[in-house]
Amino acid sequence: MFPEQRPRRLRRTPALRRLVAETSLEPRHLVLPMFVREGAAEPIPITSMPGVVQHTRDSLRKAVVEAVEAGVGGVMLFGVPLEHDAEGTGSLDPNGILNAALRDVRSEVGDSTVIMSDLCLDEFTDHGHCGVLDEHGDVDNDRTLRIYGEMGVAQVEAGAHVVGPSGMMDGQVAAIRAALDRAGHQDAAVLAYAVKYASAFYGPFREAVDSQLKGDRKTYQQDSANAREALLEARLDLDEGADMVMVKPAGAYLDVIRSVRDMADVPVAAYQISGEYAMIEAAAANGWIDRDRAVLETLTGIRRAGADIVLTYWAVEAAGWLNQR
Ligand code: PBG
């Protein structure tokens, strides 16, 4: 017997394949994470992330304009300060690098894209942890929350449309939401890094932000063995008022993206992180894989898993390819 159902019929031509594609990938789905370094005279390449730089304030403005022209959904800014201290005070200074850059970018592109900011202390602390430490050297959850609230207000007042708390402190969304509301910023949105795993794939990011971290983040980021716990984290953040939730990293956690998508009634983002970027770039540089196809395949896979929004260092380049289709 020959088969009656022949799925190959719908794969015969590019037009048929396009007609029946279940998952779409458009520039608006993509968010570009960007680094800006205090005092930089010119953009500084990040060795472990070929093609990604630590921007100067000036080159950042230009790169954001390019991102807007490519039609990406948004940008996510990370600051790289020159000075670090135990409390990460640079994060609250209106003239600190991240807040200054947010002001630059907002005045450059206004509301034409969505300006997001990483809300975390690790770039600003001299110990490199995402919060302040108590007398035992442990990350002090509740004292960190007070700083996060102030940071959120500073970032929104500098120009962020959306703040992205990424420190995995318990109660961070509620604390930031309350601080924003108290300061009259009811309109500012929170994209919660709700589900964030302690991952080896953050490696290149540590270079990208000149991280001071010794040790690891396993007392606050999740264990990669746990999927059910991700639903608890997401539910808590939704109850605390998260406007969007994120799963991070993406590639090794596609099942988690799917289950968060299925339980949440808000947009779900996924972050294709520095190590995911570096792996493909390194393999492609060796001629081992077709870079552009691999990039699109991973982005499509993350969308297929259920992400409405994908943060990726390839956002602008991929948007360029998608615009030509
Ligand atoms: C914390 C933060 C990290 C990343 C984004 N926000 C690092 C970490 O938690 O260790 C990683 C992003 C990437 O690897 O691309 N501020």
Does the structure show a pLDDT above 80 at 219? yes
**Is 80 exceeded by the pLDDT of residue 241?**
yes
- The answer to whether residue 5 sits within a structural domain is no
Ligand 1 neighbourhood includes 205 CB (under 6 angstroms): yes
Q: What are the tens digits of pLDDT across the range 134-159?
A: 999 999 999 999 999 999 999 999 99
Strand partners for 74:
31, 114
pLDDT digits (tens, 9 = 90+) for 187-201: 999 999 999 999 999
- Do 194 and 248 meet the contact criterion of CB atoms below 8 Å apart? no
Q: How far does residue 205's CA lie from ligand 1's centre (Å)?
A: 6
Q: Is the CB of 124 under 6 A from ligand 1?
A: no
Indicate the top mutation candidate among 122, 144, 206 to test ligand 1's pocket, ranked by most ligand atoms within 8 A of CB.
122
Alpha-carbon distance of 8 to 20, in angstroms, equals 12
Q: Is the CB of 273 under 6 A from ligand 1?
A: yes
* Orientation angle between helical segments 57-70 and 97-109, nearest 10 degrees: 40
The encoded tokens of residue 299 equal 């982005």
State yes or no: is 214 an active-site residue.
no
Mean pLDDT of the chain: 97
Is 276 a pocket residue for ligand 1 (Cβ < 6 Å)? no
Q: What is the CATH number of the domain that holds 79?
A: 3.20.20.70
Q: Has residue 7 been placed in a domain?
A: no
pTM over the 0.95 mark: yes
pLDDT at residue 5 tops 80? yes
For residue 214, pLDDT beyond 90:
no
Mean pLDDT of 30-49: 97
Residue 155 maps to a domain: yes
Q: Measure 116 CA to ligand 1 centroid, in angstroms.
A: 14
pLDDT tens across 53-89, in order? 999 999 999 999 999 999 999 999 999 999 999 999 9
248 catalytic residue (yes or no) = yes
pLDDT above 70 as % of the chain: 100
What pLDDT, on the 0 to 100 scale, is given for residue 210? 87
- Domains held by the chain: number: 1
Ligand 1 pocket check for 118: Cβ under 6 Å = yes
Q: What percent of the chain has pLDDT over 90?
A: 95
Q: Is the CB of 197 under 6 A from ligand 1?
A: no
Give the residue, by CA position, lying nearest to ligand 1 atom 5: 166
**Is a pLDDT exceeding 80 seen at residue 1?**
no
Residue from 49, 144, 166, 191 whose mutation best tests the ligand 1 pocket (most atoms within 8 A of CB): 166
- Condensed to tens digits (0 to 9), the pLDDT of residues 10-28 reads 999 999 999 999 999 999 9
- Residue 16 falls inside a structural domain: no
Give me the pLDDT at residue 313, please.
98
CA distance 282 to 284: 5
Does some domain include residue 166? yes
What are the pLDDT digits (tens) for 246-285? 999 999 999 999 999 999 999 999 999 999 999 999 999 9
Domain membership flag for residue 17? no
In terms of residue numbers, what domain contains 187? 23-323
Q: Is 10 among the domain residues? A: no
Verify cis geometry, omega within 30 degrees of 0, for the bond prior to 249.
yes
At 207 the pLDDT is 86
| Distance from Cα 278 to the centre of ligand 1, integer Å | 14
pLDDT, position 324: 93
